[in-house]
Amino acid sequence: MKKQNKTIQVFEYEYLPVGEVFKDAHLKAFSKLNALHNDQYFDIRYKGIRFKNYVGVIQVDGLTVEILPKIDSNETDKKLWQSVLIEMLRTTKKLKVQKVGQANVTKQNIHLLDIYFEWFLNEMELLIRQGLIKQYYIQKGNVKALKGKLEFAGHIQKNLIHKERFYTSHQIYEKDHLIHQILSFALSIIEDFSKGTYLYSKCKSVQLDFPEVKNIRINKTTFSRIKNSRKSAPYKTALEIARFIILNYAPNISSGDEKMLALLFDMNSLWEEYVLVKMKQEAVKREDTEVYGQSSKEFWQRITIRPDIVVKKDDRVYIIDTKWKNIGNFNPSTQDLRQMYVYNDYWKSVQSMLLYPATTTIAPNFRSYKDRNHKCAVGRLNIIENGKLKADIGKEILDWYEKPSEEAAQL
């Protein structure tokens, strides 16, 4: 009898106790996964688990746990925050879909794992329609007729008695090559984890149309062996998704033979990347504004410092550091303010800002550090509008720097 998949949706920092659906076996599997990643994903409690700042989806033993972001402690609208997470992943190119198909939504409660699986299967169908490529590779082994290069050491070792055989290395030109072996393994993972869902039959259909290939052990270094070429270019997206699925796959991580798949994202990093992308999209519309990310400088003995976002407007520099938490009406920590002071000093910035998501927008009120001519502020940005993630936050943030000339002269 086919096991029916069950889904639990929780928010970041929420506590999930062992109960009727989330059982001791699941807790044990989650604990093992956490230990493999230096306990960064959750806090393990007695008979339960408390999530941290990682969001995404985990599936093991017929249970899917979807972890959603939130900024309000009283938040209950899980459908809204699922759409927020999907849109952030789409905008930052971690998920290349336009929208979740309505036909699929009506079938069942769709979750993030389904979306990644369907994205991969769609890419595979496209590749099969376009025609799968063949590649050359070297095969060594015994053959009955001499072809290719005779491997003398191997031939003497293996064919001392069997004089009718030849141990050779020769070129093979076929579809059983590394790229297809990786894609086939990703398909087998999807087959395991989509049982009981609308995607299972689609996966089996793709597998029927896909050539039989050898099963190989795949890890991070396997992907570095792929040679980019004009012929392999159409496989780029499918291989990126396959890499993401395979490297987050943990077979036999629970107490039995169950397998686990965990696709998790640091919400602090995702918020930073989302803000950066939206600001860059707005900056290209403005002739006097440039936006940069990942800008670092040496601080002390090869230790570097890096603000999240650097804005250059005319001849002025502005620093933004993003924080994924609702600070409310409280002041930022002394450590954060000191960090912004250093950023101002090293980047010759006139203003720095700590940017937080909020339920109500409060524009930054820049205030000077004592006896200094540069300033710092807290920006609180409402990111939800009309029941969805606000689309124009890049414009809203950059508009905060549109200062009157006489005020700018005093900065």
Average pLDDT over residues 366-375: 85
Q: Do 63 and 86 reside in the same domain of the chain?
A: yes
Amino acid sitting at position 13: Y
pLDDT tens digits along 321-356? 999 998 887 889 999 999 999 999 999 999 999 999
- Strand 166-174 with 48-51, pairing: unpaired
What global pTM score does this model have? 0.79
Average pLDDT over residues 2-22: 87
User: How many domains does one find in the chain?
Assistant: 3
pLDDT tens digits along 88-120? 998 988 865 444 333 333 334 557 888 889 989
Confidence of residue 403 (pLDDT cuts 50, 70, 90): low
Computed on alpha carbons and rounded to an integer, the radius of gyration of the chain in Å comes to: 27
Q: Do 318 and 193 reside in the same domain of the chain?
A: no
**Nearest residue to 131 (alpha-carbon basis) of 171, 177, 175, 96:** 175
Q: Do 122 and 191 reside in the same domain of the chain?
A: yes
pLDDT tens digits along 56-81? 999 888 889 999 999 988 888 999 99
Q: Do 350 and 368 reside in the same domain of the chain?
A: yes
- In the prediction, which pLDDT does 96 show? 55
* Beta bridge pairs of residue 298: 304
Tell me what percent of the residues of the chain surpass a pLDDT of 70: 82
- In the prediction, which pLDDT does 152 show? 59
The answer to whether the beta carbons of residues 9 and 63 sit under 8 Å apart is no
Confidence of residue 27 (pLDDT cuts 50, 70, 90): very high
Q: How far is CA 209 from the centre of its chain?
A: 29
- In the prediction, which pLDDT does 104 show? 38
Q: Do 122 and 202 reside in the same domain of the chain?
A: yes
- In the prediction, which pLDDT does 4 show? 60
Q: In the predicted model, is pLDDT for residue 404 greater than 50?
A: no
Classify the C-alpha dihedral 93-95-101-102 as positive or negative: negative
**Nearest residue to 260 (alpha-carbon basis) of 57, 53, 6:** 57
- In the prediction, which pLDDT does 358 show? 92
- In the prediction, which pLDDT does 107 show? 39
Q: In the predicted model, is pLDDT for residue 54 greater than 50?
A: yes
The answer to whether the beta carbons of residues 68 and 11 sit under 8 Å apart is yes
Report how far apart, in Å, the C-alpha atoms of 122 and of each of 196, 199, 206 are.
Answer: 19, 11, 9
Asked whether residue 260 is assigned to any structural domain, the reply reads: yes
* φ, ψ for residue 362, nearest 5 deg: -130, 110
Q: Do 226 and 307 reside in the same domain of the chain?
A: no
Mean pLDDT, rounded, of the chain:
84
Q: Do 327 and 362 reside in the same domain of the chain?
A: yes
- In the prediction, which pLDDT does 405 show? 39
pLDDT tens digits along 256-274? 556 788 889 999 999 999 9
Which tokens go with 233?
């270019």
Average pLDDT over residues 379-397: 93
Asked whether residue 331 is assigned to any structural domain, the reply reads: yes
Q: In the predicted model, is pLDDT for residue 195 greater than 90?
A: no
Q: Do 24 and 103 reside in the same domain of the chain?
A: yes
pLDDT tens digits along 136-189? 556 666 666 666 666 656 656 666 666 657 676 656 656 788 999 999 999 999
Q: Which domain holds residue 245?
A: 6-131+177-266
Label residues 8-42 b or e (16+ Cβ within 10 Å = b): bbbbbbeebebeeebeebbbbbbbbbbeeeeeebb
Q: Do 115 and 82 reside in the same domain of the chain?
A: yes
- In the prediction, which pLDDT does 56 show? 92
- In the prediction, which pLDDT does 155 show? 59
Which tokens go with 297?
């400088």
The answer to whether the beta carbons of residues 30 and 44 sit under 8 Å apart is yes
* φ, ψ for residue 176, nearest 5 deg: -85, 80
The span from the CA of 312 to the CA of 291, in Å, is: 6
Asked whether residue 275 is assigned to any structural domain, the reply reads: no
Q: Do 95 and 84 reside in the same domain of the chain?
A: yes
Q: Do 111 and 52 reside in the same domain of the chain?
A: yes
Q: Do 11 and 97 reside in the same domain of the chain?
A: yes
The span from the CA of 303 to the CA of 296, in Å, is: 10
